[in-house]
């Protein structure tokens, strides 16, 4: 476990931050951008979880938030050895597979899409759609890291945005309350 006796350290006052291996990088480097975007996605998922209240998807969102801390630690660990160890936290295949299973289970309860949908329908679904869009940005940031990244970390963040899309539809009465896109409807 992490033990924080003091929140500020002053070590980042010059615009750098430490990685898991002890190296220091600019807070503006692509790796730190990715970590920040993953953190923002995690916060948006927290907002969605609060919006859902006691909805059964709340537990899945809590697990995902924990996974996103794992993902941040993975991205903060430079190198080309992506095997987890006692000292190295990495996203693993079972985390990606769990998301895939949850996506499949939710999708099985819904009619197929016949149109693109607008992000909304209900407050909980809208919050999930916002989290999905932020997660897509986090995915782009992870792809932009100019050093090797764990392929399973990238797969996880890609699958997560799919999960959030399907979860939003599930919250919208399994798609019955989705707001459908009507191409060209507002042209006048």
- Region 85-92: mean pLDDT is 91
Q: What is the pLDDT of residue 161?
A: 98
Residue 45, CA atoms < 13 Å, CB-side half-sphere: 30
- Taking Cα atoms as reference points, which of 134, 121, 99 lies closest to residue 168? 121
Residue with token string 């600019």: 26
Q: CA 97 → CA 103, 129, 136, distances in Å?
A: 10, 22, 19
pTM: predicted TM-score of the whole model, two decimal places:
0.93
pLDDT in tens, 15-58: 999 999 999 999 999 999 999 999 999 999 999 999 999 999 99
- Taking Cα atoms as reference points, which of 57, 63, 84 lies closest to residue 152? 84
pLDDT in tens, 171-183: 999 999 999 999 9
């Amino acid at each position: 476990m992490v033990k924080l006796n003091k929140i500020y350290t002053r070590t980042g006052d010059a615009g750098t931050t430490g990685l898991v291996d002890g190296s220091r990088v600019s807070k503006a480097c692509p790796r730190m951008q990715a970590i920040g975007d993953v953190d923002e996605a995690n916060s948006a998922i927290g907002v969605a979880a609060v919006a859902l209240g006691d909805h059964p998807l709340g537990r899945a969102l809590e697990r995902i938030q924990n996974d996103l801390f794992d993902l941040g630690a993975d991205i903060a660990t430079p190198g080309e050895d992506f095997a987890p160890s006692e000292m190295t936290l990495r996203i693993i295949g079972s985390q990606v597979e769990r998301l895939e299973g949850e996506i499949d289970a939710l999708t099985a309860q819904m009619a197929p899409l016949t149109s693109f949908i607008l992000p909304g329908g209900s407050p909980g679904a809208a919050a999930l759609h916002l989290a999905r869009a932020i997660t897509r940005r986090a995915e782009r940031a992870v792809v932009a890291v100019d050093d090797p990244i764990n392929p399973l970390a990238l797969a996880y963040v890609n699958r997560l945005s799919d999960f959030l899309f399907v979860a939003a539809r599930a919250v919208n009465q399994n798609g019955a309350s989705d707001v459908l896109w009507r191409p060209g409807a507002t042209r006048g």
